[in-house]
Amino acid sequence: MDIQKAYNTLEWDALESIMIELGFPHHFVRWTKLRVNTVSYRCDPIFVSLMMNNFTEFSKCTGLQASSAKCEVYFGGIDVLTQATIQASIGFNRGSLPFKYLGVPLDSKKLTINQCSPLIEKITLRLRHWSTRLLSYACRLQLIRSVMFSITNYWMQVFPLPKKILYHIEAK
């Protein structure tokens, strides 16, 4: 996806009007417009503090809260002092790559075969379970195709799988 192109073609005045109509606080709308007009991908403690204040306001309005035990912060290209300041201000543990999100390992690099082993194990477990059932050959074949496709497709929505993994799956 071309982020720059999508960003440049968005009508920011329309977005501001929508936010106001939806009842976003005016200071949040102004802050968002300011950040949009002065785009910076630098992660500074002031920005993080403002973002956490907005999350707090959101929590007060909705009653929904982030679970600190389940939240982690990830850093990239930020000096150690800034990392410590940000981490102290938000109260989340520091995470490290790779990690799992919705059962799928996420990493900044191409996945290794070892990281994909849960996928192969999940498929193998399902296949073994069905092989003991009293299903016809055609039913088992259809179940196998369906499950292999759905599980593999779920992972491939996040990232491309290495060819070796696809060969392992087909071999099962």
Residues 66 and 125 reside in one and the same domain: no
d(CA 168, CA 127): 14
Residues 8 and 37 reside in one and the same domain: yes
Total residues found in the chain within this entry: 172
Residues 91-104 have pLDDT tens digits of: 888 988 888 777 77
What is the rounded average pLDDT for all residues in the chain?
77
| Domain end among 46, 69, 98 | 98
Token output for 96: 């490290």
What is residue 102's predicted lDDT score, i.e. its pLDDT? Answer: 73
Compute φ and ψ for 170, nearest 5 degrees. -65, -30
Q: Is the pLDDT of residue 119 over 60?
A: yes
What is residue 133's predicted lDDT score, i.e. its pLDDT? Answer: 65
Residues 124 and 153 reside in one and the same domain: yes
Residues 105 and 37 reside in one and the same domain: no
Residue 116 exposed, middle or buried by CB count within 10 Å (0-12, 13-18, 19+): buried
Containing structural domain, residue 107: 100-171
| Domain end among 74, 98, 122 | 98
Residues 62 and 119 reside in one and the same domain: no
d(CA 54, CA 58): 6
Residues 143 and 106 reside in one and the same domain: yes
The structure's pTM equals 0.49
Q: Pinpoint the alpha helices (H) of 22-136.
A: 26-37, 45-62, 80-90, 117-131
151-166 average pLDDT score: 76
46-59 average pLDDT score: 84
Residues 21 and 72 reside in one and the same domain: yes
Residues 67-84 have pLDDT tens digits of: 888 888 888 788 899 889
Looking at residue 161, what DSSP letter applies? P
